Chain A
Amino acid sequence: MASVSPDTRFGLRRQARLPGPLPLSSGASLSPVDIAYESYGQMNADKSNVILICHALTGDQYVASDHPVTGKPGWWWRMVGEGRPVDPARHFIICSNVIGSCMGSSGPASIDPALGDPYAMRFPVLTIADMVRAQAMLLDHLGVNRLAAVIGGSMGGMQALTWPTLFPDRVERCVVIASTARHSAQNIAFHEVGRQAIMADPLWRGGDYYADGKVPSAGLAVARMAAHITYLSEAGLTEKFGRRLQGRDAKTFGFDADFQVESYLRHQGLSFVERFDANSYLYITRAMDYYDIAEDHGGSLARAFTATRARFCLVSFDTDWLYPTAESRAIVHALNASGAQASFVELSSPFGHDAFLLESPELNRVVDGFLRGGRA
């Protein structure tokens, strides 16, 4: 049974405690605001080489450094690192843990200063825009006014796309990969399955599980398993597992993990609960479900981008059915209508939504060319 305690389980590297208050979309506010972040490279004299990397739902600030819990290399080392499109030799790279998460930034596992106990479900419900405003507060704290680029995939892409809508003058380039401008009914539906799995776990107890360390890991594991399916493609699953059996020659006529795909998903679920807080999963999926940039701009996505002079680069993957190419196209059409400079390409990959995290020379070539281009 995994235990969750923010002080011992979740490694803290650089962490800024900002006084706040941070006004939130809900009307509530948050203070203080803790933001854990990693940085790579050096800021140049005119501060023109700063790149913000935004992470996905279950990601964290360890974009290019070993994860303190799992020991695995950074989640986007293929994109960020020496000789990579985002290169600490040329760029000052910041990646911060989103608020609501559990890797050192303020979230439901953080201590509520009013009570001296973890917030749990008293933590305010957040939006993607709130996460972005918190990142802007961190940049203010670090003395960074303008971003040479903001880059993200999946939920990171939602933050990246939100940046120029909230801070049109602070972003020069915006890279949005395998993402969308709004959460669809199908996206919300899958998230609701995950949330219900967590809340149906008897150990969830309305979110108040921090005191005794008995956490709803079974529910969180099921949530992760369901979500993980959406990150893969049918063809990818077939290629990787097919109907092959797991460590046996025949079906057991029981409910063990007979199939390799079952064993794989169980492993994904179990390893996830070692590093993630169930309440954070509730809060972040909720923020994604509330995400709809057009809704925040009178129903017009194009209107969201009229104030910015940022250049945009969008990339989708042909087998991604979580945020399919049509979602990226809708953003491109809105950018064209608003006169923004936009590039868009659909890349081919058998790996579904997860393709953005995997080896993709074409993705790297596109991002590298985009980041180098258009220097004023």
Chain B
Amino acid sequence: MSDLLRPDLALIARTVRPGTRVLDVGCGDGALMAALRDTSQVDARGLEIDGSNVAAAVGRGLSVVQGDADTDLSYYPDASFDYAILSQTLQTTRRPDLVVEALLRIGRQAFVSFPNFAHWRGRLSLLWGGRMPVTRLLPDTWYDTLNIHHVTVDDFRALVKDRGWTIDGQWFLKGDKETTHANANLFAEHAVFLLRR
């Protein structure tokens, strides 16, 4: 099941402890939730902004609520989940810092995954082409991308440090393979962080 998942989701699915409670924020069509439910007996709930994604997820028997990470997380009680997960959604929120803050309030730990804007291909595109990067990782043009807060690995680490959060784990991906922590800001296409307050 999990080998069909997007690489960052597969990594999260492998790391979540079985039998836990998980809130997947920006859960899409529920692929990760379904994998967690089917392989790890996880009690998974989802929040997703897109109606057809929600319909697909509920259609597979998952508990998913249509809503907006920027506005709807305030309705979840403190520490009501073992994990809150935000995969590939951070860069689309209006206030990423407040969203992560909310994740760490709701979940005892939070997974945050995002595309690394400082990957060398993007840097080259800006440096030599003078254009916003359109790459495998960031396939949309600047005017139709949902990503409104581009973020790099080092930016995110700085935010974590600034807010006094603790990093319990970090993983970096190049394509579907894990890659080294060294120079992650240059070589990682995706980053996955596991945080707690």
Contacts and interface: CB of A to CB of B under 8 A. Distances in A.
Contact of B62 (A346, A362, A368, A373): A373
Interface stretch (B5-13, B63-71, B179-187): B63-71
B130 interface: no
Interface string A348-376: 10000000000000100110111011100
Given A336-B65, A370-B58, A348 B80 contact: no
B44 to A, nearest CB: 10
A344 B65 contact: yes
Contacts, number: 67
B61 A345 contact: no
A369 B33 CA distance: 15
B19 interface: no
A369 B45 CA distance: 15
A42 interface: no
B66 A344 contact: yes
B55 interface: yes
Contact of B51 (A332, A336, A347, A373): A347
Given A339-B80, A348-B51, A366 B65 contact: no
B59 A368 contact: yes
Contacts of B66: 344-346
A342 B65 contact: yes
Query: Which range holds the interface residue count of chain B?
Result: 20 to 34
A344 B54 CA distance: 8
A176 to B, nearest CB: 13
B60, B62, B65, B80: most-surrounded residue (chain A CB, <10 A): B65
A196 interface: no
B76 interface: yes
Nearest to A338: B77
Contact of A343 (B58, B72, B75): B58
Contacts of B51: 345-348
A343 B63 contact: yes
A368 B61 CA distance: 9
A341 B77 contact: no
Given A337-B77, A345-B54, A347-B51, A369 B61 contact: yes
Contacts of A362: 52, 55
A373 B52 CA distance: 18
Nearest to A373: B61
A347 B55 contact: yes
Nearest to A313: B58
13 contacts: A311-B63, A329-B67, A333-B72, A336-B75, A337-B77, A343-B54, A343-B63, A343-B65, A346-B51, A346-B66, A365-B59, A369-B61, A373-B61
Interface of A: 311, 313, 329, 332-333, 336-337, 339, 341-348, 362, 365-366, 368-370, 372-374
Q: Considering the complex of A and B, which 4 residue pairs feature the smallest CB-CB distances, nearest first? A: A373-B61, A369-B59, A333-B75, A345-B54
Given A333-B75, A345-B58, 15 more contacts: A311-B63, A313-B58, A332-B65, A332-B75, A336-B65, A339-B77, A339-B80, A343-B57, A343-B64, A344-B54, A347-B55, A362-B52, A365-B59, A366-B58, A369-B60
